Amino acid sequence: MGQFKTNAIVIGRTDYRDHDRMLTLFSPDRGRLEVLARRAKSPKSPLLSASELFCSGEYVLYSSGEHTSVVSCQVTDAFYPLREDYERLSHGTLMLEMCRVVVQPEQPEQRFFLHFLRSLAHLAYGSASPRSVTAVFMAGLLSLNGFRPAVRKCTCCGNALIPGEGMTYGFSLTRGGILCPACCIADGRTLTGKDVADMQWIMKEGLAALDGGLKVSSAVFYALLEMAKKRLECTFQSEKMLAF
């Protein structure tokens, strides 16, 4: 294939030999890429910052046979604030792990790439809580991969869901969405009227919901996390880093 350019985000990194690193890149037009960054661990290496987790930029790569290596990188954003706050770092790490599961080699992911990039920006520089940002990220991940949660109608009886104060709703993993008060008999997590309203707002507005002061509960967060694990058929080791 020779030399080519692609925008990408580092979603995985492993030290290799004494001075090299193996990187997992998320490219919007090439999907997941496994590449070698030679001498990236050296303090004076031009690839030092480009081989860090969360780094985004324009990567120049060289492919020969089954091997691809990094030639150079014009760094766009390193999202450095994530490294200064444990809570934000733990949520960012969970996002990275989810991307490594979802993104496949040679599978373009333009919309999901943009969603991930914007989510990292909110997480690093925004005022919304890390839990809220990650909840919106997971909702987008599910929707873009064909698993959009049902939040407007009860997934059991089909009646419209109108959030009410003091009412109890359910979230069904098997049905993939919210259950009305009449149907929420022990099939998933319990949600309040505010939780339902928040989920409806998230599914309608996406990341723009964060600009309106969205603050999701742990019930909403874990409902979406459990749904992601069920639909993607995996578990996430970085979940253990979350402090709730």
Label residue 190 exposed, middle or buried (CB < 10 Å: 0-12, 13-18, 19+). Answer: middle
Question: Mean of the pLDDT values across residues 136-148?
Answer: 97
Report whether CATH 1.10.10.10 matches the domain 127-239.
no
Q: What is the mean pLDDT of the chain?
A: 94
Amino acid at 201: W
Per cent of the chain over pLDDT 70 is 97
**Angle at which helices 193-205 and 130-144 pack, to 10 degrees?**
60
Helix/strand/coil for 107: coil
pLDDT score recorded for residue 199: 97
Give the pLDDT band of residue 1 (cuts 50, 70, 90): low
Distance CA 96, CA 118 (A): 13
Query: How large is the C-alpha radius of gyration of the chain?
Result: 20
Helix/strand/coil for 10: strand
pLDDT score recorded for residue 129: 96
Give the pLDDT band of residue 188 (cuts 50, 70, 90): low
Q: In what order do the strands lie in the sheet with 189-192?
A: 177-179, 168-172, 189-192
Domain span(s) for CATH 1.20.1440.120 in the chain: 127-239
Question: Mean of the pLDDT values across residues 208-229?
Answer: 95
Answer yes or no: is pLDDT of 101 > 90: yes
Residue with tokens 């989920």: 199
158 has which bridge partners?
none
pLDDT score recorded for residue 66: 84
Question: Mean of the pLDDT values across residues 108-117?
Answer: 97
pLDDT score recorded for residue 215: 95
Write the CB contacts of 146 (distance below 8 Å, at least 6 apart in sequence): none
Distance between start and end Cα atoms, the chain: 47
Answer yes or no: is pLDDT of 196 > 60: yes
Digit-coded pLDDT (tens) for 28-85: 999 999 999 999 998 889 999 999 999 999 999 999 888 999 999 999 999 999 999 9
Which two three-digit tokens encode residue 120? 């990292």
Nearest of 187, 186, 218, 216 to residue 199 by alpha carbon? 216
For 2-77, CATH gives: 2.40.50.140
Domain span(s) for CATH 2.40.50.140 in the chain: 2-77
What is the model's pTM? 0.94
